[in-house]
């Protein structure tokens, strides 16, 4: 009996259970929003005699009456409570930020100038970096190489997230959840009929990204250093209505080793643009690519394709479970927009001259880096093979297949409890999602 309780607790602690709860919440909110809109529209077009009927039955109506069992109303109240629990910390944190901002506003100008000098600021708002133009340094390149060599993975392994193929693109994605810090994502994209130089210029062109990325609301280059090609860029990305937009200020630099390009971008401080309450600034941000020519998967023996290996992590200030579900649901749509945007850029470059961003992307720092497949490439290739086996070994323990226990429990709950139609649909849908994990 003890081991059964331990296995049940371990099952509840699985990230998939939290993802299922978020899925239920995301499904319940639109359904009830549609129900409330339908009630409002129907009540506005009601016949006059319904008003008399409502007056006669008003004394018998109980607003907070909840039927026995796991009904749709009880499920809705639970979802509302969860939403309130997630919103309360944000309200408290915003209140604390306002109080802190008021205290800082009351500080004297001498104190502000002294703090700016201690933080490494200049009179024009720029940040004094390690060198004259070293916003992104060789340490950041070394960090990217260590991630590609899989030396900073710790005890966590890459998990297969997605694998899709189109007529002229192959895409694979993985994720890793460190014990501390945000979730880390890695993807490998192979573009057919593309050169590394063209793909490098495409990823470096923030102005053209405004045309194909619907999440990007604003893009501006704040500063440039032609000596080594370093740029400082300001982004504002759109988020869903229940989240405020996010602001990014990051520095970017490109290193070149042969025909392989290492593009590094990371979040940096920029005193000329102080943080505001909205949009919320993302300070912990690292997104870097390795771009190189590879053999085409569809044309053996010809290096007519380009491979892009992306390593990305950031702290958006969103709970991990919500971020995990949002990335899983929106990843393929973003990749399809990326593919269409690159083909449009490819056509534009064939007709027009080089843009300023493409000219800056050609200013690189020459380095010598071994171009063989690192341990990360080997681990990612083996992650697809062992993912199914690991899931099966975790699912069957002590003679029980937990996914069938979940499905059977959901069916029993639907049959025994006094649930409404919405509650039954949500329970069965959640059980099916849990059984697939």
Neighbours of 161 (CB within 10 A): 19
Residue 423 has pLDDT above 70, yes or no: no
Q: Give yes or no for residue 404 having a pLDDT over 80.
A: no
Domain assignment present for residue 291? The answer is yes
The pLDDT score that the predictor gives to residue 106 is 47
Query: In the chain, what percentage of residues exceed pLDDT 70?
Result: 53
Cα 247 to chain center, whole Å? 14
Any domain includes 141: no
* pLDDT, position 24: 59
Residues across the chain: 437
Contacts of 198 (CB under 8 A, 6+ apart): 306, 345, 346, 349
Give the model confidence (pLDDT) of 42-82 as tens digits: 666 656 555 555 555 554 444 444 444 445 555 555 555 65
| Mean pLDDT taken over the chain | 74
Count the helix, strand and coil residues of the chain and give each as a percent rounded to the nearest 5.
50, 20, 30
d(CA 306, CA 186): 17
pLDDT: which is higher, 14 or 211: 211
Strands 246-257 and 230-237: antiparallel
Asked whether residue 325 is domain-assigned, the answer is yes
The helix or strand, by DSSP H or E, that contains position 92, with its residue range, turns out to be: helix 72-106
Residue 290 forms beta bridges with which residues? 262, 309
Residue 431 forms part of a structural domain: no
State the SS3 of 151-174.
CCCCCCCCEEEEEEECCCEEEEEE
| Residue 352: inside a domain | yes
3-state secondary structure of 308: strand
- Mean pLDDT (whole number) for 428-433: 60
Task: Let me know if residue 323 belongs to a domain.
Answer: yes
Between 340 and 64, name the one with better pLDDT.
340
Give, for 304, the enclosing helix (H) or strand (E).
none
pLDDT, one tens digit per residue, over 274-299 is 998 889 999 999 999 999 999 887 77
Q: What is the pLDDT of residue 367?
A: 94
Structurally, the chain folds into a number of domains equal to 1
Least confident of 20-34, 123-137, 191-205, 236-250: 123-137
Q: Please give the residue that has the higher pLDDT: either 415 or 309.
A: 309
How much is the pLDDT for 366?
94
pLDDT in the model for residue 178: 87
Domain membership of residue 361 (yes or no) is: yes
CB 235 within 8 A of CB 254: no
Task: Please indicate, yes or no, if residue 328 is contained in any of the structural domains.
Answer: yes
How far apart CA 304 and CA 298 sit, in angstroms, is: 10
DSSP notation for 189-257: EEEET--HHHHHHHHH-HHHHHHH-TTEEEEEEEEEETTTTEEEEEEEE---TTS--EEEEEEEEEEEE
Write down the pLDDT at residue 171.
96
pLDDT value of residue 152 = 61
Please name the residue ranges forming H helices in 128-188. 138-148
Instruction: Report the relative pairing of strands 230-237 and 260-267 from DSSP bridges.
Output: unpaired
pLDDT for 246 equals: 94
Q: What is the DSSP letter of 417?
A: S
Is the CB of residue 357 less than 8 Å from the CB of residue 204? yes
CATH of residue 360's domain is: 3.30.530.20
Query: Range of 269's domain?
Result: 154-366
- Closest by CA position to 178, among listed 311, 86, 7: 311
Q: What pLDDT is stored for residue 240 in this prediction?
A: 77
CA dihedral 26, 30, 32, 38 (to 10 degrees): 180
């Amino acid at each position: 009996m003890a081991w059964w309780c331990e296995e049940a607790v371990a099952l509840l602690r699985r990230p998939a259970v939290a993802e299922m709860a978020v899925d239920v919440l995301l499904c319940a909110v639109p359904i009830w929003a549609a129900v409330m809109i339908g009630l409002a529209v129907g009540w506005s077009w009601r016949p006059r005699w319904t008003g008399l009927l409502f007056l006669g039955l008003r004394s018998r109506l109980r607003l907070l009456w909840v039927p026995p069992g796991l009904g749709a109303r009880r499920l809705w109240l639970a979802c509302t409570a969860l939403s309130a629990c997630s919103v309360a910390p944000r309200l408290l944190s915003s209140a604390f930020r306002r109080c802190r901002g008021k205290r800082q506003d009351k500080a004297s100008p001498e104190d502000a100038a002294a703090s700016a000098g201690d933080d490494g600021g200049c009179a024009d708002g720029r940040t004094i970096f390690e060198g004259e133009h070293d916003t992104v340094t060789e340490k950041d390149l070394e960090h990217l190489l260590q991630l590609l060599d899989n030396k900073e993975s710790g005890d966590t392994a890459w998990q297969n997230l997605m694998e899709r193929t189109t007529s002229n693109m192959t895409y694979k994605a993985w994720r890793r959840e460190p014990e501390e810090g945000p979730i880390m994502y890695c993807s490998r994209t192979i573009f057919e009929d593309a050169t590394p130089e063209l793909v490098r210029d495409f990823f470096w062109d923030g102005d053209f990204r405004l045309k194909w990325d619907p999440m990007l609301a604003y893009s501006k280059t704040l500063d440039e250093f032609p000596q080594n090609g370093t740029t400082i860029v300001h982004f504002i990305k759109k988020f869903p209505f229940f989240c405020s937009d996010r602001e990014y200020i990051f520095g970017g630099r490109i290193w070149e080793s042969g025909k392989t390009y290492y593009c590094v971008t990371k979040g940096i401080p920029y005193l000329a643009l102080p943080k505001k309450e909205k949009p919320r600034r993302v300070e912990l941000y690292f997104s870097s690519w390795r771009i190189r020519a590879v053999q085409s998967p569809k044309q053996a023996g010809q290096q007519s394709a380009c491979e892009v290996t992306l390593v990305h992590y950031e702290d958006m200030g969103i709970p991990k479970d919500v971020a995990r579900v949002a990335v899983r649901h929106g990843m393929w749509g973003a990749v399809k927009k990326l593919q269409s945007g690159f083909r449009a850029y490819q056509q534009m470059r064939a007709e027009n001259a080089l843009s300023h961003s493409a000219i800056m992307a050609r200013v690189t720092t020459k380095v010598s880096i071994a171009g063989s497949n690192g341990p990360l490439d080997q681990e990612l290739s083996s992650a697809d093979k062992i993912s199914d086996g690991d899931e099966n070994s975790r699912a069957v323990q002590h003679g029980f297949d937990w996914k069938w226990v979940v499905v059977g429990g959901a069916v029993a709950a639907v049959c025994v409890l006094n649930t409404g139609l919405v509650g039954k649909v949500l329970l069965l849908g959640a059980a099916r999602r849990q059984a697939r994990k």
